[in-house]
């Protein structure tokens, strides 16, 4: 599993280079791994109307979902932060929606890594509707 986690981090690092962050200058990359081994990447994309911006994690997850994948095994996130780059609350909620037990691999450019399950990042996640 370590090799695939490193591949996800490498993909996230490359995706980070495509980020559009002219306002914050804070670029983030992400990569998700689906159950069948497919990888989707994402980067953060800002907008002058900041509320319309989207995080790298949601871009990668939404790309996977748009291609028919809803079960995600892992997500890697990388940013130029002092500690491993942690996802925002909105991203945590989206992660729990699709795979509460996915591994969340947080990292930075100095290769500090922290791995935790999505549900541990948002222990009392909103689950309002019974869709099953």
Q: 57 an active-site residue?
A: yes
CB 22 within 8 A of CB 44: no
User: What superfamily in CATH does domain 2-121 come from?
Assistant: Cytidine Deaminase, domain 2 (3.40.140.10)
Contacts of 33 (CB under 8 A, 6+ apart): 4, 8, 39, 72, 73, 74, 75
Q: Where are the domains of the chain?
A: 2-121
Q: What pLDDT, on the 0 to 100 scale, is given for residue 2?
A: 78
pLDDT bracket for residue 1 (50, 70, 90): low
Single out the catalytic residue among 11, 14, 35, 57.
57
Q: What is the pLDDT of residues 20-76, one digit of tens each?
A: 999 999 999 999 999 999 999 999 999 999 999 999 999 999 999 999 999 999 999
State pTM to two decimals: 0.94
Alpha-carbon distance 50 to 124, whole Å? 27
């Amino acid at each position: 599993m370590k090799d695939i986690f490193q591949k996800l981090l490498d993909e996230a690092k490359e995706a980070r280079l495509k980020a559009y962050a002219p306002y914050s200058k804070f670029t983030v990359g992400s990569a998700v791994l689906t159950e069948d081994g497919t990888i989707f990447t994402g980067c953060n994309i800002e907008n002058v109307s900041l509320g319309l911006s989207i995080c790298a994690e949601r871009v990668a997850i939404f790309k996977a979902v748009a291609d028919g994948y809803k079960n995600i095994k892992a997500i890697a996130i990388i940013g130029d932060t002092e500690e491993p780059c942690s996802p925002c609350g909105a991203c945590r909620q989206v992660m729990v929606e699709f795979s509460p037990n996915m591994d969340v691999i947080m990292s930075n450019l100095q290769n500090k890594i922290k791995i935790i399950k999505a549900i541990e990042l948002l222990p009392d996640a909103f689950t309002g509707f019974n869709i099953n």
